[in-house]
């Protein structure tokens, strides 16, 4: 799954590089993956998309769900939740891929699923209806909206469960979660009902400011963009930093398993 900063980055790059290209052929599920998901019959993708021109990639406000990249191909729609790569004419293509699109100029676009991912192709008229929820990077995502989300869940829910499960905030997953919580000085296991007004305000402001910085820097350094380049945002807590001292206080960082994934935190900066 791609997360919100990379959705923005990929959307911009697709509009810059792929917009106007005509699809020559499509291979879907050439290398089967247990957690690659398609709509309908994947073998029909070639007939559904060949000859169509990439019109544009949607922004989150147009898509209504900022955990997917939506690519308009004439009267067809591709909704993709897995990393996307561009390959210029003559470039080596990935050995394994779950979606490979060749354009008439001999360039390609590929998707290779890592943990899991969806590559859905439907007529634009049959576009799924998403609940219209604001992105944290939109003005509508304000403190009142954030407080409303908190008030809708069980008070003993952990900070990680609140932010990164059930897609309450589409596109906010376990990856971006780590730096959001560090910047707010909140432990991933801290219960919502133990947070005071200051904690909640810091958490709200960190959600907005951390995600904005990640987007503005071209995505995180743990992820790759359309051109297979790492993002320019230096993660504070990730697999790249866990062996180093905390950037804030110099203490050792900790990695633990929690709620089906790893959490990273500084015990000194983020007490439970």
Name the stretches of the chain with pLDDT < 70. Answer: 59-66, 128-131
- pTM (predicted TM-score): 0.92
The predicted structure's pLDDT at residue 212: 96
94-124 per-residue burial string, b: 16 or more CB within 10 A, e: under 16: eeebbbbbbbeeebbbbbbbeeebbbbbeee
What per-residue confidence (pLDDT) applies to 131?
66
Q: Is 265 helix (H, G, I), strand (E, B) or coil?
A: strand
Tens-place pLDDT, residues 225-271: 999 999 999 999 999 999 999 999 999 999 999 998 999 999 999 99
Give the tokens for residue 137. 């990077």
What is the set of domains in the chain, with CATH numbers? 4-126 (3.20.190.10), 143-225+234-265 (1.10.8.50)
Q: How much is the pLDDT for 272?
A: 87
């Amino acid at each position: 799954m791609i997360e919100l900063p990379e959705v923005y980055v990929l959307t911009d790059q697709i509009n810059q590089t792929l917009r106007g290209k005509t699809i020559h052929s499509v291979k879907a599920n050439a290398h089967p993956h247990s957690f690659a998901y398609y709509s309908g019959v994947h073998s029909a993708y070639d007939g559904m998309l060949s000859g169509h021109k990439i019109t544009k990639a949607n922004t989150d406000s147009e898509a209504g769900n900022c955990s997917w990249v939506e690519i308009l191909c004439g009267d067809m729609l591709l909704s993709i939740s897995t990393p996307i790569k561009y390959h210029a004419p003559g470039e080596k293509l990935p050995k394994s891929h779950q979606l490979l699109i060749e354009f008439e100029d001999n360039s390609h676009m590929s998707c290779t699923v890592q943990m899991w991912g969806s590559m859905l192709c439907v007529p634009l008229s049959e576009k799924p209806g998403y609940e219209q929820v604001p992105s944290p990077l939109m003005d509508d995502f304000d403190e009142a909206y954030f407080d409303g989300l908190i008030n809708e869940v069980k008070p003993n829910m952990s900070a990680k469960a609140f932010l990164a499960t059930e897609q309450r905030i589409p596109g906010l997953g376990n990856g971006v979660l780590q730096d959001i919580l560090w910047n707010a000085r909140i432990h991933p296991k801290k219960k919502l009902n133990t947070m005071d007004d200051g904690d909640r305000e810091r958490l709200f402001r960190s959600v907005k400011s951390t995600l904005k910085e990640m987007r503005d820097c071209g995505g995180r350094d743990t992820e790759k963009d359309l051109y297979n380049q790492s993002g320019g945002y230096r993660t504070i807590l990730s697999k790249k930093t866990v062996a180093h001292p905390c950037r804030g206080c110099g203490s050792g960082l900790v990695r633990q398993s929690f709620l089906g994934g790893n959490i990273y935190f500084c015990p000194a900066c983020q007490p439970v």
